[in-house]
Amino acid sequence: MEADFADVGYKGTVAELAARRAKDAVAHGADGIVCSGLEAGALRKILGQTPLIVTPGIRASGVAAGDQKRVADVHTALAGSADYLVIGRPILDAPDPARAAAAMQEEIARAVIGD
């Protein structure tokens, strides 16, 4: 991922750019940010509790990323204090979307309430 980042001309790391852009967005009045669950925890520490954090690319624990590079599982995103999880493909692409949605709800409950 970092090599791809350098190839398109960015200096520094993905985490550094995410932090810089998130701080700028909040400074300019944004009520929240969208970021990978991989950066949610670090950004929450930098930004405090006020801005909302929305994390797309959420997968069940142990599930492959598919065609996305910046995915996180439910536990990682919630441990990073994400406010909203975007769970699309794991449900929509499942053979049984209702069962997949129920399984994700159970995983979220375990992450929030504890195992």
Q: What is the CATH classification number for the domain harbouring 88?
A: 3.20.20.70
The strand order across the sheet containing 84-85 reads: 32-34, 52-55, 84-85
Calpha distance 53→90 (Å, rounded): 20
Would you call 74 helix, strand, or coil by DSSP?
A: helix
Total domains in the fold of the chain:
1
Task: Name the residue range of residue 53's domain.
Answer: 2-113
Cα(94)–Cα(30) distance, integer angstroms: 34
One digit per residue, pLDDT tens: the chain, 115 residues?
666 666 777 778 888 989 999 999 999 999 999 999 989 999 999 999 989 999 998 988 777 677 777 888 899 899 889 999 999 988 998 999 999 999 999 999 998 887 6
Q: Is the pTM of this model over 0.85?
A: no
